[in-house]
Amino acid sequence: MYTVAVINQKGGVGKTVTTVNLAAALKHKGHDPLVVDYDSQMNATDWLMGREATEDDATIFDSLAAWDGENADERTFANIFRSSDTVGIDFIPSDRRMAAASFDAVIGRSAVFPQQFRSRIQEFRTAEVQRNSSSPKNHDYCVIDCPPSLGRSIATALAGADGIIVPIHADRFSMRGVSQLQETIKQIRKVHNDSLRILGLLPNDLDLRSGMVSDMQEKFENIYSDILFDTFIPWRSKINEVATHGKNIMEYEGASDAASRYLDLAHEVVERSRVATAA
Ligand SMILES: Nc1ncnc2c1ncn2[C@@H]1O[C@H](COP(=O)(O)OP(=O)(O)OP(=O)(O)O)[C@@H](O)[C@H]1O
Ligand SMILES: [Mg+2]
């Protein structure tokens, strides 16, 4: 299972739409993705479950918090993941306690937290391979929807990830944010996870009629040509619609330009993750 975290410290750049639509596109191409909602805002949870998580739902927080407690085995990813009735994708819900402040208050031992997520991912991988020894394809991608921050909870998610996708707006501030992000990734690699790679930057929400956007795109291509995806996602009302109505873009708008962009992205993600895994 290749694990990819969708991150950007800026809010509203399209992390959640990228996570869910990429997962839908991977599924459409015959893969079996697992979405992990890592954000206390629960947007991906709401999309996939049709509601926010309550105390009765086992969430990513429960799994991490229970890591070495009495009920550790009940809270493995294999035990808590569920399937979205509406979108047809497996996922692990988030809850409010994933906010950084609660992390520290509830867990009180954040220094070891990154290791816990990494271990849960590895444990899940092993359990799946054992369960499906004749068909190891099950859950071949894990896509993590991260909160808009570069704080400690991000460090935790990245400690368990193989690759990173960065949805990004084509503006000057977003461009500045990339170097900050690269610095964080360097630190994570040093301390927690030296195999972490940037899979790609994904320009998102582009207004193709604006001349400024093509100027910024050119700048992106000059500076980040090595990490930029060939695919980019324009502003499309369909993208907003599927997010708002909690739909699967491939089923709801399969013939749309938006859907075909996510299929292109899925293709690139598969190619790049194969190269990264082989390296
Ligand atoms: N390409 C696009 N076309 C149209 N609407 C888009 C596009 N990308 C994102 N949006 C819309 O922009 C809003 C923000 O997107 P999204 O929630 O995915 O951002 P985010 O980075 O996850 O935000 P946060 O940082 O709060 O988690 C949503 O209403 C979404 O539907
Ligand atoms: Mg989001």
Average pLDDT over all residues of the chain: 89
Instruction: List % helix, strand, coil for the chain (3-state, nearest 5).
Output: 50, 15, 35
Which mutation among 8, 16, 166, 253 tests ligand 1's pocket best, with the greatest number of atoms within 8 A of CB? Answer: 16
Ligand 1 and 40: CB distance under 6 A: no
Q: Which of 32-36, 176-180, 208-212, 272-276 has the lowest mean pLDDT?
A: 208-212
| 277 CA to centre of ligand 2 in angstroms | 27
* φ and ψ of 191, to 5 deg: -90, -40
Per-domain residue ranges of the chain: 2-278
Going by pLDDT thresholds of 50, 70 and 90, the confidence category of residue 103 is: low
The architecture that CATH gives domain 2-278 is 3-Layer(aba) Sandwich (3.40)
Given a cut of 70, whether residue 106 has pLDDT beyond it is no
Given a cut of 90, whether residue 98 has pLDDT beyond it is no
Write down the pLDDT at residue 154: 84
Looking at the CA of 256, which ligand is closest?
A: 1
Give the distance, in angstroms, between the CA of residue 114 and the centroid of all CA atoms in the same chain: 16
For residues 44 and 235, the answer to whether their CB atoms sit within 8 Å is no
Q: Which of 12-21, 42-51, 63-72, 109-118 has the lowest mean pLDDT?
A: 109-118
| 216 CA to centre of ligand 1 in angstroms | 19
Ligand 1 and 245: CB distance under 6 A: no
Given a cut of 80, whether residue 153 has pLDDT beyond it is no
| 15 CA to centre of ligand 2 in angstroms | 5
Find, among 90, 86, 140, the residue nearest to 249 by Cα: 86
Maximum Cα interatomic distance, the chain, rounded to a whole number of Å:
59
Identify the DSSP state of 147.
Answer: -
Write down the pLDDT at residue 274: 92
Q: Measuring from atom 3 of ligand 1, which residue has the nearest CA?
A: 235
Q: Which residues surround ligand 2, an ion (CB under 5 A)?
A: 15-16, 43
